[in-house]
Structure 1
Amino acid sequence: MDFLLLAPDRSRIVIEVDGVQHYGRENPPDEKGRVTYTASPQLYSEMVAEDRRLRLAGYEIYRFGGWELTRPQGEQTLTDFFTELLKRHKKPTA
């Protein structure tokens, strides 16, 4: 869990930022020293199993791929997301 938010409506929100280590295993460096990754069905399965466990425990989970946040639109992506999230989880009036 990268971030846990406790919303005004008492919702528990988990934010995950997934880098390649969430779904791939590191390969040895190539002849130029570059490191690559190979997709790992086991790592992916462990990640989604944890998502299910948290959801059943009452958490909302939102995942971001690290790549999408490093793009030029990354800041806007976060701004739009949190704007919508806060609209959804306003403090109850009653």
Structure 2
Amino acid sequence: MDFLLLAPDRSRIVIEVDGVQHYGRPNLPNEQGQVTHTAAPQLYAEMVAEDRWLRLAGYEIYRFGGWELTAPGGKQLLEDFFTELLTRHQKPTL
């Protein structure tokens, strides 16, 4: 997990930022030295299997694609997400 947040209401929140290494394997560099990736279903399956076990253990999991965080609007996306998340989890439950 990339980040673990322990909320005031005792929720355990996992934040994952998924780069290409979560779903692809690198190819050899091309003539320009650029590295591309090939989709790897096994990597993806391992990732979602881990998600299931974390959820069964009581964790909330939120995934972000690395691209969406670096794209225009990424900062606003995060601000909006964390505002909503913290609003949801700010009050302890009895």
- TM superposition score category, shorter chain reference: over 0.9
Shift of 1:92: 2.5
How many percent of aligned residue pairs carry the same amino acid?
A: 82
The alignment of Structure 1 onto Structure 2 pairs a total of residues equal to 94
Task: Give the structure 1 partner of residue 52 of structure 2.
Answer: 52
Q: Which runs of 5+ in 1 are unaligned?
A: none
| Off by >3 Å, runs of 4+ in structure 1 | none
Q: In 2 relative to 1, CA 58–93 (structure 1 residues): closer, same or farther, beyond 3 Å?
A: closer
Structure 2 residues without counterparts, runs of 5 or longer: none
Residue 90 of structure 2 is matched in structure 1 by 90
Question: Aligned ranges for residues 2-21 of structure 1 at < 5 Å?
Answer: 2-21=2-21
TM-score normalized with structure 1 length: 0.96
What one-letter code is carried by the residue in structure 2 that aligns with 1:10? R
Aligned to 1:24: 24
Give distance in 2, aligned partners of 1:71 and 1:30.
25
How does the TM-score come out when normalised to structure 2? 0.96
Q: Secondary structure at the match of 2:34?
A: coil
Aligned-residue offset at 1:93: 6.8
- Aligned to 1:33, the other structure's residue is in SS state coil
